[in-house]
A and B are shown apart, each in its own frame.
Chain A
Amino acid sequence: MMWRDIKLAIRTMRSAKWRSLMTMTGIILGIVSVVTTLSLGEGIKRQVLKQVASQGSDLITVRPGNFLQRNQDGQISGISGVEKLRFPAGSLSDQDLELINGAPGIGEIAPILSLDSGVSYDGQAYQGGTLIATSNNFLEVIGKSMAHGTFFETRDRDRRVAVIGRTVAEELFKENVPIGRSIEIRGKEYVVKGVVDDFPAPLLGLTPDYNRTVFIPYSLGQQLDSGRLLAMVLVRPSASSSSSELIKTLSDRLFQAHGNQADFTVLGQDENLRIIDVIVDLFSSFIAGVAALSLLIGGIGIMNIMTVLVGERTREIGIRKAIGATNRQIASQFFAEALLLSLVGGLLGIGLAGIVNLSLLALTHLQPVITWQMLALAGGVSLGIGIVFGLAPAIRAARKDPIESLRYE
């Protein structure tokens, strides 16, 4: 294979742009889906990392419902029923909260009560938000600070105050600092006391979108919805104990209290990452399978067109052979064409994937990330396809008999 074959192939490709583009479609789409899938997965993993970093790695989440199995050492051995995360049945009660609170090694604890009541401002209901009742120390536990104003304090126990996420401020009040304005929940007015700093975007529904959340004091939440089960309990270990120890203690205690049934999940922050990994990999491998199929079809498409081209250009092959082209020279000419098709297809695919990524960034809260490894993979895959599917037509071309080929019309 030589430079002149590549130049020749570029020329052939230019002379039939439309056909070349059509030939490359399969590769293009395959590469787009591979790169997009991988970059979405990567983006999600990075968001989780960011979240872990912002919340501190020793944050422990206790959730209702069981979706993971642990081995003897307390390491995660399996994940199932992830879908329950979206629809927690609610198996954590106030008694459980007391139990958690009483466990040794507890540093801070923040229960989260998710409420269904609507929030409105100036007669206008807030759509798509979450209403959460939580304790005063929520911000300390989750490792966040206020953007404006203050979070509720002990003296706010029975005062109707609220703290809102940034997006709520922008969407409901249409201003950045709506402190002092009041929102309405179940006909009662709650005064906005502060706005919380930006949270990282939520992941696969594992955490609520805190930016779209209205926080009210826990006691008020209990009044609004007495007997409601907890959506989540956030726990931070005390300075003297480690988070893995605490996870084990909490799991054991709750297990006993729930009559030896693990209908809850105690999750460390780094374990969150592992779960996301599993989910992302599951989802990626599925799409990667589809993408691989599309790449295979793309490759066959190239082989197809190349075979037809070899047939169409039999006469040309005959002429080239008559004036002294060896089989190898003929083969490398057609091989270069197939390689070029798949490589250019790969490049176009990468370009298109870039556009898809940018639009995902702009239009959704997903934050796909393209790494050089993905680009290398895409390039390698398209090169591989060119080699695998370009070889057969090239050999076919090389083996043509010169006399027969010269006779070909």
Chain B
Amino acid sequence: MALLELKEISKIYGFGDATTIALDEVDLSVDKGEFVAVMGPSGSGKSSLMNMIGLLDRPTHGTYQLGGRSVARLRPNQRAKVRRDRVGFVFQSFNLLPKITALENVALPLMYKGVGTTRRLKHASAILGQVGLADKEYFFPKQLSGGQMQRVAIARALVNNPDIIIAGEPTGNLDSESSRLVMELLGEIHALGHTILLVTHNPELTRYVTRVVYMHDGQIVYDEQTAIGEVPKLARRASLLLQRRTAEDDYAGVSALMGIDNEKPKKTKRTKRRTARRKPVRAHKQARKIKR
């Protein structure tokens, strides 16, 4: 019995000509202990699938079984409870609450479960220790580095001992060194027997996973098992083949879907070009102003 089983899951937004099919009868089953990467260009339905699996959203059609329980038609409050007990989220922009300490952030899901203060802080402290941040318990998020914040977020996702951890572009806001640390941490967590769903456009990250799923236009177009440590050829190729837009548009699209701050893209040739292109527009506008 698979840990999660999606059958003919569809998500349709809008009406008439404005109809968007975000997910088009997707079938997916994930077993306990798998580390699945979901790849695909922006708009391919990665995020919709992630929201669906994480029970942030409700499918238009289809059935979804999580741990043997049918969860596709749950009401918002019931979904919240399933999220609380069975799902852990890791976001690109960390999404820690800024006004509480790292420890309290980690303990937050337990609070909603009704665990007493002392017990939940104790538990959260143990988990923080596991991700290597035992000495940062009383730091506020803004006092931590990006990598540290993401590790706090991972601890928060872990604190409920969830059935599945959903990581949406977890390294998107990190430098390569922090990215490596975060991915290694996810790898370790996977090694401990956790099931992880990684949504990414970065083929390099697939070296940590056991299975890669490619999405395109709301459908799963390819599904492949891989060995840890290798980047499947298709992942490389797919990222080229399926790429209709540039990597950066992709990045922006994923970010937008994930609700993520992408204001500071790293300086690439692309950004340089963009600023270069902008200048004449400004000059043009100024010229018009002067005319008036």
Contacts and interface: CB of A to CB of B under 8 A. Distances in A.
B83 A323 contact: yes
Interface residues of A, number: 25
A259 interface: no
Contact of A324 (B91, B96, B99, B109): B109
A322 B258 CA distance: 12
Given A324-B80, A326-B81, A327-B77, A402 B56 contact: yes
Given A403-B57, A406-B258, A322 B99 contact: no
Contacts of B51: 403
Contacts of A322: 54, 56, 83, 89, 95
Q: Interface residues of B: mostly helix, strand, loop or mixed?
A: helix
B111 to A, nearest CB: 7
Interface string A398-409: 000011011111
Contacts of A328: 77
Contacts of A321: 56, 80, 83
A329 B117 CA distance: 16
Contact of B109 (A318, A323, A408): A323
B211 interface: no
A325 interface: yes
A403 B56 contact: yes
Contacts of A406: 56, 91, 95, 258-259
A12 B56 CA distance: 27
Given A328-B77, A329-B112, A323 B259 contact: no
A320 interface: yes
A407 B109 CA distance: 20
Nearest to B261: A409
Contacts of A12: 99
A326 B77 contact: yes
B57 to A, nearest CB: 6
User: In the complex, which of the residues A315, A323, A406 has the most CB atoms of chain B within 10 Å of its own CB atom?
Assistant: A323
A319 interface: yes
Contacts of B89: 322-323
Contacts of B56: 321-322, 402-403, 406
A405 B97 CA distance: 14
B69 to A, nearest CB: 16
B193 interface: no
A17 interface: no
A405 B76 CA distance: 14
B77 A323 contact: no
B102 to A, nearest CB: 14
B84 interface: yes
Given A328-B77, A406-B258, A319 B95 contact: yes
A318 B96 CA distance: 11
B228 interface: no
B201 interface: no
Contacts of B81: 324, 326
B119 to A, nearest CB: 13
Interface in B83-121: 83-85, 87, 89, 91, 95-97, 99, 108-109, 111-113, 117
B113 to A, nearest CB: 7
Contacts, number: 70
A323 B81 CA distance: 9
A4 interface: yes
A324 B77 contact: no
Contacts of B84: 323-325
A11 B179 CA distance: 34
A4 B87 CA distance: 23
A329 B84 CA distance: 12
A135 to B, nearest CB: 78
A329 B54 CA distance: 19
Nearest to B83: A324
A15 interface: yes
Contact of A326 (B80, B91, B97): B80
A408 B95 CA distance: 11
A334 to B, nearest CB: 15
A17 to B, nearest CB: 14
Nearest to A409: B261
Contact of A407 (B96, B160, B259): B259
B216 interface: no
Contacts of A15: 99
A246 to B, nearest CB: 74
B173 to A, nearest CB: 14
A197 interface: no
B144 interface: no
A336 to B, nearest CB: 14
Contacts of A403: 51, 56-57, 259
A277 interface: no
Interface in A297-321: 315-316, 318-321
Given A319-B95, A322-B56, A327 B80 contact: yes
B76 A327 contact: yes
A324 B259 contact: no
Interface string B240-278: 000000000000000011110100000000000000000
Nearest to A404: B259
In the complex, the 10 A-B pairs of residues with the closest C-beta atoms, listed nearest first: A324-B84, A407-B259, A406-B259, A326-B80, A323-B109, A324-B83, A326-B77, A319-B95, A324-B112, A402-B56
23 contacts: A4-B111, A11-B99, A15-B99, A316-B97, A318-B259, A321-B56, A321-B83, A322-B56, A322-B83, A322-B95, A323-B108, A323-B112, A323-B156, A324-B87, A324-B113, A326-B80, A327-B80, A328-B77, A402-B56, A406-B259, A407-B258, A407-B259, A408-B259
Interface of A: 4, 11-12, 15, 315-316, 318-329, 402-403, 405-409
